[in-house]
Amino acid sequence: MAKPTIRQLEYFLAIAEDLHFRKAAERLHVSQPTLSDQIRELEYRLGVVLLERSRQSVALTPVGEDLVERARYLLRDLDDFCDAAKSASGMLGGKIRLGIAPTIGPYLMPKVIPQLHKRYPDLKLYIREDRSRVLEQSLRDGVHDLVMTALPVRDDNLENFLLFKEPLLLGMPRDHPLAHRTEIEPQDLAGESVLSLGAGHRLFEQVQRLCEELGASVQTDYEGTSLDALRQMVGMGMGVSFFPSLYVLSEITNDDQVVVRPLKSVVAQRQIGLVWRHKSPRSKDCRAFGEDILSAIRQGPFQDFLTS
């Protein structure tokens, strides 16, 4: 019996992710009949039914659910095989699929990408933003080669490279009683209501720990979907919040409604790093990539407050 082709496995994964033939076909840049024919051919070669089809929906069969993970790992290992061949040349080139937390990417990467492009003109950097927990699982599944997120990431199957430590600053409405101070005493936050991003963001976990230390409480009925949403809620007087310095520099410096202040005598910061699979053949490339990001940071506007 003929074995499945790599393309058929890629088509199967696309449908498993979208559960919609038209959307999967558009993402793959093929016609829907072509996609349907290849899936039928895959099922014929395997001798099993992978998908339950109806006019309204597509669903994985039990055997399809079992095989989709195996297909994902097969394609990940194939990518690693190709990456190992590329890395043998000792050059950071080809394609890197970078997952990045939305609390980092928009405020750091525009300052970093030009230098990376200058140093590696043949490098194709595909960036996808998502919550840290989702990114880390996608990394394990082979969807990403590399993830930039807050550390620590506790997983023996993953390696990490510390890029920098980023201060967290307290944001509050301009008419808040503490807004006139240059630094905020820790005891002044006791009983304060703190806004935060939702669960799944590592920033949420860090803010939660800070609040426990300071005697403040995280509002669970008003979770921000983004840092911009948090800033707007703070500006409307709905509470205070902690913002990463990169975001403050980019978005709050000229905000008329929100002021930011550091905490006195409290280490309020997060560690940002790169994470990749322990057995990745591109480990050296990942470290080189990290070193180049550090170099770009040292030459940019962040060098005064980001520490290694």
Radius of gyration of the chain (CA): 23
pLDDT digits (tens, 9 = 90+) for 60-90: 888 888 888 888 888 877 877 776 666 555 4
166-269: which CATH topology?
A: D-Maltodextrin-Binding Protein; domain 2 (3.40.190)
Mean pLDDT computed over 151-180: 92
Check for a shared fold between 93-164+271-299 and 166-269.
yes
| pLDDT at residue number 265 | 80
| pLDDT at residue number 267 | 82
Mean pLDDT computed over 32-51: 89
**pTM given for the model:** 0.71
Q: Which numeric CATH code is attached to 6-84?
A: 1.10.10.10
| pLDDT at residue number 297 | 81
Q: Which numeric CATH code is attached to 93-164+271-299?
A: 3.40.190.10
Domain edges within the chain: 6-84, 93-164+271-299, 166-269
Bridge partners (DSSP) listed for residue 270: 166
| pLDDT at residue number 300 | 66
